[in-house]
Amino acid sequence: MTWKMSATPRHHTFSRCWAISFGDYFKRDAIKYAWELLTEVFRLPPDKLWVTVYAEDDEAFEIWTTEIGLPSERVIRIGDNKGARYASDNFWMMGDTGPCGPCTEIFYDHGEHIWGGPPGSEDQDGDRYIEIWNNVFMQFNADEAGVMHPLPKPSVDTGMGLERVSAVLQGVHANYEIDLFRHTDRGGGARDLGRRPDSLPCACWPTISAPAPS
């Protein structure tokens, strides 16, 4: 994935840390793992986190509000907002046919001193609420007629914004203000980072979870 470089304080050519589950853990565990890492390991304040779910994904909404305990006003349902059925910021499709499904995204609120509104609002394109996590729940297979067939083994595609989370943990707003970019901006570039591995915000590698062969 490549984003528009420098278009905003959060876009550049770096991307995400991935974790993928093929037919193993699914919606409930993926949401709990995300919440645990962000609030218990990274110790982000829960009241700073907002969530979106696909408008018709009642299961994800219930997990967030009933099991995780997020107030319902901070769990925003996003419907088909791109002009077609299932064309939504919260529904992922690989194409007209094939595996697809709803997603839930986690946003960090950088504070009212930064312009922008919650996801789904008129001011959502501002930089106050920044997406830091996305769980895609691939639970359907779309056929040529647009009919959604449940997959026999639903899967999860998790993406976490490495530099975005690093910015939150380091108390800055723009991704370009994290230590990785500051060391590079001083002119050392890769050589500086090579001498100081501790300057990297974290080391993340894709992880894949799948059930053991029977």
Q: What is the pLDDT of residues 65-82, one digit of tens each?
A: 999 999 999 999 999 999
Band (pLDDT 50/70/90 cuts) for residue 178 is: confident
Q: Give me the pLDDT at residue 92, please.
A: 96
Q: What is the DSSP letter of 213?
A: P
H or E stretch covering 138: strand 129-142
The answer to whether 189 and 181 have CB atoms below 8 angstroms apart is no
Contacts of 79 (CB under 8 A, 6+ apart): 54, 55, 56, 88
Q: In the structure encoding, which two tokens stand for residue 184, read together? A: 């590079």
Q: In the structure encoding, which two tokens stand for residue 55, read together? A: 């408008």
pLDDT higher than 60, residue 169: yes
Q: Residue 60 to residues 52, 115, 135, 148, 180: CA-CA distances in angstroms?
A: 9, 29, 11, 18, 35
Q: What rounded mean pLDDT belongs to the chain? A: 83
The pTM assigned to this predicted structure is 0.81
pLDDT higher than 70, residue 209: no
The residue whose two tokens read 């639903």 is 154
Write out pLDDT tens, residues 104-142: 999 999 999 999 999 999 999 999 999 999 999 999 999
Q: Give me the pLDDT at residue 20, please.
A: 82
Q: At residue 131, what is the residue type?
A: E
Write out pLDDT tens, residues 1-33: 333 444 555 555 555 566 788 888 999 999 999
210 or 108, which is more confident: 108
- Largest Cα span, the chain: 56
- Angle at the Cα of 36 from the Cα atoms of 202 and 34, rounded to 5 degrees: 70
